[in-house]
Structure formats: structure tokens, C-alpha cells
Amino acid sequence: MDYWTQPLNDYRSYLTLERSFSENTVDAYLRDVRKLLDFFRYKQLNLRPEEVKKDHLDQFIKWVAASGLGTNSQTRIISGVRAFYKFMLLEDTIDFDPTTFLKRPRTERKIPEVLSIEEMQKVLDSVDLSSDHGLRNRAMLETLYACGLRVSELTELKLSNLMLDNSYIKVIGKNNKERIVPIGEVASKHIKKYIKEARKKQHNVKKDSENILFLNHRGTYLTRVMVFKIVKEAVQRAGITKNISPHTFRHSFATHLIEGGADMRAVQDMLGHESIATTEVYAHIDKEYLRETILMYHPRGKGKS
């Protein structure tokens, strides 16, 4: 299929020069298109890019699905082929995009693990407040849960971005996007206690970490691994056997808000999600919790007649 060589070379140049994608990303886009070429070879279809019709692509989707790939992988491949044909349309190589009416497979949505409100309280209460590290760890865990932060947002949280008297913090999220997140009185109290009794007394703070809130014993940023370890230890002390990570605090934050009746858009803003669809998974958690509660406790829930 030599007549695909030039379009693919042009596509590579477009992704590299005009879209400024990394080499790995470019290779991934091209790999998706080459998967389509593998299908044409398998079916012995000698087609030029501009000769491909929706029927061919429908067959391709069925072939990919039959290969055993998960729906997330299938969706990614279809997106890659769509992107190639959008480029072809942009270059006036084709008059009509055959991917326009393609249907994507339903994406697998794994419902994340969450802690109940009672379990969360046990984890938070398990932290020993008799040491500087204990004050820091309790303030960290309270902040993770109170604000639904990602680990990177927690470790990079700055003293200058705290507006505790006004019950807000400023968070630097993905792609350096700033957002303002409300913070409750309990988390604020623990942050203030940590700052007053531990953070201000730490004399080995490195120059590039002077504005960072949560520091390690060497006076610099905490690593993601260290935060993970702190969470794991607190969960074990609380006697909870669920597979919990720092991100579980974010999941629990969102789930508990929605269970309490919070507006989905408000939760989206607080989490810093680009799409409301990402936030909607927490509504599914809420529904699943309700379903399990009904099956467990309702007198007709277990099929009795």
C-alpha cells in the first residue's frame, strides 16, 4: 500500500510541526492508522485513503473488537483514525470524512474505590498528633479529603495560596490551570496548627521550598511516594482493608458531596475536571451505593416473596 506512505509522512509532519506533539504521541497516532492498514491487508482490500468508506470502517471496528482489545483501547484506535481523516479533510485530500458517523464502543467505566464517611473519620483519627510529622500528616490528609486534591496539587500547595480566614485555597491543577477551592473549618484548623507548631519551626527549609506548605524532614517537597506511604500507614492503623491510595480521598470527597446533594457542576469545578462526563462517574457510585443498600436492607430486596 505505497499510496498510504506519503499521506502518513505528511500526517507525521503535521502532528510534529503544527501540533507540536511529542515523538511518543505522534507514534501513537500513526500506530492507530497502521492498525487500519493491517485490517485492509487481512481483508485483501487494496484501497487508497480517499477510497475508504464508512462500511469499510464499520468492518474495521468489528475486526478490532473481535481481536479481544478492551473498549478503552478500541475507542483510542477509532479516535486515532478519526484524527487522521480530519487531517485529510483539512488538507483537501478528501471531500468527505468517512469517520463522521462512526459509532464508538461504550467505554468501560471502572467505579473507583471510596471510603465511607465513618471509615474516613477512622483514617483521619488514626494519625498521632504528638510529633511534628503527625501534625503535618493530619493536616495533609484533612486537606486531601476537604478539597479533593490530586497528589501533585497537594505536594505543590503554597503558603501564599492559602486564604484560610476566607475558607478558600488556590490550587494549581493540570496544565497550570488555577482554581479556587473551598476548605472547611476542620481542615483549616489542622493546617493552622501544623504551620504554627511545626512548619514555622522547621529551620532547614531549602530555598526553592520556602513557599511550600507541606515539607519533608529535609526541608523540601514531599514526593508522591511519600504521600502514598503516609496514606497507606494511616489506613492500616485504622484497620481498613480496602485498597486505598491518596486518590481515594479525592474520590471520597466527590462521592460524599454528591451523596449529600451537591450540584454536579459545582463538584466539577472543585475537582478541576474539563468535562462533566468525568465527574458523572461519582453519580454512578452514589447510585451503586443506594442499590446495594436497598438489596441489603429492604425486606423485598433479596427476592423474598
DSSP structure string for 234-299: HHHHTT--S---HHHHHHHHHHHHHHTT--HHHHHHHHT-SSHHHHTHHHHHHHHHHHHHHHHHST
> What's the chain's average pLDDT?
85
Would you state the pLDDT for residue 127? 97
Of 243, 205, 200, 249, the closest CA to residue 227 belongs to 249
Fold held by 2-90: DNA polymerase; domain 1 (1.10.150)
CA–CA separation, 301 and 305 (whole Å): 10
Give pLDDT, residue 173: 85
pLDDT grade, residue 304 (50/70/90)?
Answer: very low
**Tens of pLDDT along 167-209?**
999 998 887 888 888 899 999 999 999 999 999 999 999 999 9
User: In angstroms, rounded to a whole number, what is the distance separating the alpha carbons of residues 191 and 185?
Assistant: 10
**Highest CATH level, class, for 117-296:** mainly alpha
User: What are 97-139's pLDDT values in tens digits?
Assistant: 998 888 766 655 555 688 999 999 999 999 999 999 999 999 9
Question: pLDDT tens digit string along 213-272?
Answer: 999 999 999 999 999 999 999 999 999 998 899 989 988 888 888 777 777 677 777 787
Is-same-fold flag (2-90; 117-296)?
Answer: no
pLDDT at 87: 92
pLDDT tens sequence across 58-94: 999 989 888 888 777 888 888 889 999 999 998 888 8
Q: Is the pLDDT of residue 286 over 60?
A: no
Q: Is residue 163 predicted with pLDDT exceeding 70? A: yes
pLDDT at residue 290 is higher than 50: no
> Residue 158: which residues within 8 A CB-CB, separation 6 or more?
170, 211, 212, 213
- Give residue limits of the domains in the chain: 2-90, 117-296
Higher pLDDT, 69 or 153: 153
Share of the chain above pLDDT 70, in %: 86
pLDDT confidence of residue 284: 54
The reported pLDDT for the residue numbered 255 is 84
Contact 97, 52 (CB under 8 A): no
Residues annotated as catalytic are 150, 174, 247, 250, 273, 282
Residue-level pLDDT at 280: 59
- Say how far apart CA 170 and CA 180 lie, in whole Å: 5
Which stretch of DSSP H or E encloses residue 119? helix 117-125
SS3 for 142-198 is HHHHHHCCCHHHHHCCEHHHEEHHHCEEEEECHHHCEEEEECCHHHHHHHHHHHHHC
